[in-house]
Amino acid sequence: MKKKVVSVFLAMTMVAAMVAGCGGNNAASSNAAGTNGADTTGNAVTDDAAPADTEASDAADAAADAAGGDLADKKVGVCIYQFSDNFMTLFRGELENYLIEQGFSKDNITIVDGANDQATQTGQIDNFISQGVDVLIINPVNSSSAETITDKVVAADIPLVYINREPEESEEQRWADNGWDVTYVGCDARQSGTMQGELILDLGLETVDKNGDGKIQYIMVEGDPENIDAQYRTEFSVKALTDGGIEVECLSDQVGNWQQDQAQSIVANALGQYGDDVEVVFCNNDAMALGALQAIQAAGRTVGEDIYLVGVDALSEALEDVIAGTMTGTVFNDHFAQSHGAADAAIRFLNGEKNEYYIACDYVKVTSDNAQEVLDMVK
Ligand code: GAL
């Protein structure tokens, strides 16, 4: 049932892409993932995540059968960059459930918290290697550490599936050139940024331009700047507006590290400084949008009337806000497709099969029109 809903939404989604941004975060414009967009899909999760996910599940079932149903004996090590991250909490819960559904034993799945510290995570990877796990699924603390991580995991002859934080293109190319059992499963963050911009664009300049100066004044609250998701969402949300012919002015662009409390104080300060000139608040994720909403309400502003607010992830609380009109919209970051895709890729490796080096899935734009359906799906 969940899958059907996803496919209906995906049929309505549109991908654009390009450049821009304010606050000087253009580091991503020539980056890696640039060649890995929605059209360079892997064999587990494709542009239409729903049917592909079904196919992937079938493929995983077949792989499990072919492996003689012995997945229960396989040891899986999972490294998460930080347990306190809301979205990664949904992701790891779904990943564990799905691995168990596919036949792994709960006792053989070990999920560890990197506590947002690469040295801690590297130690955890070393431990997994010395314990002799059969496969590793890694959400790196720093994407830039991927080369070092890959080298040690490949040297130990353990297949590796990266999730959520995409390594550089040159790193992915290395896996391909060497024929290593390493892959990345995730979404193209440019698509989520574009959708955020479209959520505002679709309202029309007349609606959003409250001070009537012919342009849109906005605040940007960014996630961890080392993370390509933060870089692309910052860049492409604004680009969607400028591509749509709208003039923009960035009043403030600050790093909230994906955290609700940090975003709350950033937005409270920005509203204090720029007052009614703030027409739009872009947050790179929903946790920060929830913090922004607290600041907006404390400042006596009303979303949908005198200010507009968008996030990414489709956390339940944010979806409830979209339904209530206290958030303009969000973008569904499909943790089902991503976690299932990662598990299916791991199973294929365990079964001696190959994976594409990049396995993609799609985001879904969420407005008050479809927020209830998405909420029914994620709950
Ligand atoms: C993003 C997500 C954020 C945060 C981040 C961690 O995809 O939108 O909320 O979880 O991943 O890397």
What's the per-residue H, E or C state across 165-188? CCCCHHHHHHHHHHCCCEEEEEEC
Residue 66 alpha carbon to ligand 1 centre in Å: 35
Q: Pick the residue whose CA is nearest to atom 1 on ligand 1.
A: 229
Q: Check residue 60 and report its DSSP letter.
A: H
Mean pLDDT of the chain: 87
Q: Are residues 148 and 207 in the same domain?
A: no
Please report the pLDDT score of residue 62 as a whole number: 54
Q: Please give the Cα distance from 109 to 115 (Å, whole number).
A: 19
The pLDDT tens digits for 287-298 are: 999 999 999 999
Q: Are residues 102 and 241 in the same domain?
A: no
Please report the pLDDT score of residue 93 as a whole number: 98
CB 366 within 8 A of CB 374: yes
- Give the 3-state DSSP-derived string for 73-126, with helices as H, strands as E and coil as C: HCCEEEEECCCCCHHHHHHHHHHHHHHHHCCCCHHHEEEEECCCCHHHHHHHHH
Please report the pLDDT score of residue 300 as a whole number: 98
Q: Are residues 195 and 246 in the same domain?
A: yes
The pLDDT tens digits for 323-373 are: 999 999 999 999 999 999 999 999 999 999 999 999 999 999 999 999 999
Residues 6+ apart with CB under 8 A from 46: 52, 360, 361
Q: Please give the Cα distance from 374 to 59 (Å, whole number).
A: 26
The answer to whether the CB of 188 is under 6 A from ligand 1 is no
Please report the pLDDT score of residue 42 as a whole number: 33
Residue 190 alpha carbon to ligand 1 centre in Å: 13
Give this prediction's pTM.
Answer: 0.85
Q: Are residues 63 and 143 in the same domain?
A: yes
Q: Please give the Cα distance from 358 to 344 (Å, whole number).
A: 13
Q: Are residues 21 and 116 in the same domain?
A: yes
Residues 6+ apart with CB under 8 A from 158: 128, 129, 133, 134, 135, 136
C-alpha count within 13 angstroms, C-beta hemisphere, residue 42: 31
The answer to whether the CB of 313 is under 6 A from ligand 1 is yes
Residue 298 alpha carbon to ligand 1 centre in Å: 26
User: The tokens of 238 are what?
Assistant: 């604004």
The pLDDT tens digits for 191-209 are: 999 999 999 999 999 999 9
Instruction: Find the length of the chain.
Output: 379
The answer to whether the CB of 91 is under 6 A from ligand 1 is no
Q: Residue 254 region, left (φ>0) first, then alpha (ψ -120 to 50), else beta?
A: beta
The answer to whether the CB of 356 is under 6 A from ligand 1 is no
Please state the atom number of ligand 1 nearest to the C-alpha of residue 186: 7
Enumerate residue ranges in the chain where pLDDT < 50.
1-54, 66-68
Q: Are residues 81 and 226 in the same domain?
A: no
Residue at token pair 């029914």: 376
Residue 228 alpha carbon to ligand 1 centre in Å: 10
Residue 241 alpha carbon to ligand 1 centre in Å: 23
Q: Are residues 184 and 91 in the same domain?
A: yes
Question: What count of other Cβ atoms lies within 10 Å of the Cβ of residue 247?
Answer: 12
Residue 211 alpha carbon to ligand 1 centre in Å: 33
Q: Are residues 148 and 235 in the same domain?
A: no
CB 158 within 8 A of CB 183: no
Residues 6+ apart with CB under 8 A from 289: 263, 281, 283, 309, 310, 311, 318, 321, 327, 330
Please report the pLDDT score of residue 10 as a whole number: 46
Q: Please give the Cα distance from 357 to 333 (Å, whole number).
A: 21
Q: Pick the residue whose CA is nearest to atom 4 on ligand 1.
A: 87
Q: Please give the Cα distance from 215 to 213 (Å, whole number).
A: 6
Q: Are residues 212 and 325 in the same domain?
A: yes
Amino acid at 137: I
Q: Are residues 34 and 124 in the same domain?
A: yes
* Burial class of 163 by CB neighbour count within 10 A (0 to 12, 13 to 18, 19+): buried
Q: Are residues 281 and 339 in the same domain?
A: no
The answer to whether the CB of 87 is under 6 A from ligand 1 is yes
Please report the pLDDT score of residue 85 as a whole number: 97
Structurally, the chain folds into a number of domains equal to 2
User: The tokens of 368 are what?
Assistant: 């008050």
Could you tell me how far CA 221 lies from the centroid of its own chain? 16
Q: Give one DSSP letter per residue of 208-274, joined into a string.
A: H-TT-SSEEEEEEEE--TTSHHHHHHHHHHHHHHHHTT-EEEEEEEEE-TT-HHHHHHHHHHHHHHH
Residues 6+ apart with CB under 8 A from 141: 81, 82, 114, 116, 117, 118, 120, 121
The answer to whether the CB of 85 is under 6 A from ligand 1 is yes
Please report the pLDDT score of residue 63 as a whole number: 52
Please report the pLDDT score of residue 69 as a whole number: 57
Helix (H, G, I), strand (E, B) or coil at 305: coil
Look up the domain containing 213 and give its range: 190-332
The pLDDT tens digits for 39-53 are: 323 333 333 333 444
Residue 114 alpha carbon to ligand 1 centre in Å: 15
Q: Are residues 230 and 278 in the same domain?
A: yes
Q: Please give the Cα distance from 331 to 189 (Å, whole number).
A: 11
Q: Which of 143, 258, 330, 331 to mutate to test the pocket of ligand 1 (most atoms within 8 A of CB)?
A: 258
Q: What is the CATH number of the domain that holds 339?
A: 3.40.50.2300
Q: Check residue 135 and report its DSSP letter.
A: E
Please report the pLDDT score of residue 29 as a whole number: 29
The answer to whether the CB of 331 is under 6 A from ligand 1 is no
Residue 312 alpha carbon to ligand 1 centre in Å: 9
